[in-house]
Amino acid sequence: MRTRPTLTWEPSGDLPPATTDVRPVVESVRAGGVVVLSGAGLSTESGIPDYRGELGSLRRGHTPMTYQEFTGSEQARQRYWARSQLGWRAMTRAEPNAGHRAVAELAAAGLVTGVITQNVDGLQQAASTPDVIELHGSLSRVVCLHCRAVTDRADLDRRLREANPRFEAEAERHRSARVNPDGDVELPDEAVREFRVVPCAACGFGVLKPDVVFFGENVPPERVAACRELVAGATSLLVLGSSLTVMSGLRFVRQAADAGTPVLIVNNQPTRGDRWGVRVELPLGEALRDVVAGVRDGTTRPTSGP
């Protein structure tokens, strides 16, 4: 029997204490050679909730669909694509926030030399950050599990609208439903029961899947290798808005720590990586604004926040 992948993590009592002092982050960024690893917390100020924060989707009872569920059940795929039809539209309306813009500014200044994002919303790229590695893929693309053709999500949106003309009425009724980090919204069974899923347009019958890494699915090895190469060349690793609960991101923290590379984490809650780095416990947007300001004016601010 398959077990569900790790979705939550409870901190133990032996974690090092956090700080509200942004000076370690400012000093590391000022030295350059920073690789950023970002998580869902970076996008919360854009209106996309994270998984495990105070208002995270897991706390609201949302359970992300696993790869095994998606590939093994036609009903699961129907439920996913119906919910995603609303969630993807909400994602496209989201805009980069101060945190995304801060990372982009530091990259433009040559201080951040690489960005690895666990997010699938494309907001870091929308902030004009170059060469972002999408660790978990992107909701803007769709892949066929048979012929492997990759197509644009907007094209699938058009096809799904044509196949489900009456779904628009349901969409209006549930337009206020909260989007989840994986790009879907909660819908009642009656809203998805008649939803028609379309096959791959390239081969005519293949199952379509968002080009993202589901829970229970492995990150492509070549993508992991590219991330490891970035981290190996980093002067420091800066983790932004990730609880590091899942191994896909935590492995890079461990890699950096094993190599003696400083790890700095900005997150309002304890993370699974705290024992390998210094965690700054501040709201992300606020902390990054202070970091950018400190780098710009050449000063090192001792604290941020009240």
Q: What is the pLDDT of residues 103-125, one digit of tens each?
A: 999 999 999 999 999 999 999 99
Domain contains 89: yes
Residue 60 pLDDT grade (very low, low, confident, very high; cuts 50, 70, 90): very low
Residue 93 pLDDT grade (very low, low, confident, very high; cuts 50, 70, 90): confident
Domain contains 219: yes
Residue 10 pLDDT grade (very low, low, confident, very high; cuts 50, 70, 90): low
What is the span of the domain harbouring residue 149? 23-297
CA 266, CA 98: separation in Å to the nearest integer? 14
Domain contains 192: yes
Domain contains 211: yes
Domain contains 11: no
Domain contains 17: no
| HSE of 60, CA atoms in CB hemisphere, 13 A | 17
Please tell me which residue, 44 or 51, carries the higher pLDDT value: 44
Does residue 56 carry a pLDDT above 50?
no
Least confident of 1-5, 266-270, 278-282: 1-5
Here the CATH number for the domain that contains residue 264 is 3.40.50.1220
- Six-digit token string for 29: 């960024």
Least confident of 42-51, 100-109, 295-304: 295-304
| pLDDT of amino acid 177 | 53
Does residue 289 carry a pLDDT above 80?
yes
pTM of the model: 0.86
Rounded to an integer, the average pLDDT of 114-139 is: 95
- Six-digit token string for 116: 């690895």
Does residue 269 carry a pLDDT above 80?
yes
Torsion on CA atoms 129, 112, 247, 80, rounded to nearest 10? -10
Domain count, the chain: 1
Determine contact, residues 37/300, Cβ cutoff 8 Å.
Answer: no
Domain contains 252: yes
Q: What are the catalytic residues? A: 136
CA 185, CA 182: separation in Å to the nearest integer? 9
Residue 64 pLDDT grade (very low, low, confident, very high; cuts 50, 70, 90): confident
